[in-house]
Structure 1
């Protein structure tokens, strides 16, 4: 499993609209092969900051399966205009600590 993480900085005054748009966008990402789940966390210290965490079966399900899909084009149209600056997206994998 791969964990995608993105810190989203939403432009001032647009958090309510962003959250509504994100609800609509959630349907798009959840339809992609290899998608395992996601959550959006709202920062307590900064009202305009969110943490997006998405679980994918593997890296390619995100970087190719989602980003090269029609759903991603709709995702971009719904969400990308809210961000300033544009978020950095990183991918993580669990390490075995045993």
Structure 2
């Protein structure tokens, strides 16, 4: 399993609209083969900041499967205008330690 991680910094005053847009966008990503789940968590210390965690079966499920799909342009249209700055998206492999 691969975990995609990003810190999403949302433009001031747009958090509620972002949350609604994210809920609308969920069916777009969840329809992707290899998608295993998604969480978006608000930061407790910093207003307008969220942690995005997406679980994928493989890296390619995200990069080719979702980003290469006909659903991705709609995802971008719903969400990308909220980000300031645009987030760094990284992928992580299996844990080297776990409790």
TM over 0.5: yes
Counterparts of 1:33-72 in structure 2 under 5 Å?
33-72=33-72
2:1 is equivalent to residue 10 of structure 1: no
Q: Using the alignment, how far apart are the partners of 1:27 and 1:12 within structure 2?
A: 26
Q: For residues 60-85 of structure 1, what are the alpha-carbon distances to aligned partners after superposition, in whole Å with 9 as ceiling and x for unaligned?
A: 00010000111111000000000000
Q: Provide structure 1 residue ranges, at least 5 long, that are not aligned to the other structure.
A: none
Counterparts of 1:23-38 in structure 2 under 5 Å?
23-38=23-38
Where 2:39 maps in the other structure, the secondary structure is: strand
Aligned residues: 98
2:74 is equivalent to residue 74 of structure 1: yes
Runs of 4+ more than 2 Å apart: 95-98
Offset at residue 95 of structure 1 (A): 3.1
Offset at residue 4 of structure 1 (A): 0.2
Q: Using the alignment, how far apart are the partners of 1:84 and 1:46 within structure 2?
A: 14
TM-score between the two structures when normalised by the length of structure 2: 0.95
Q: Using the alignment, how far apart are the partners of 2:97 and 2:2 within structure 1?
A: 17
What CA RMSD, in Å, does the superposition of the two structures yield over aligned residues?
A: 1.2
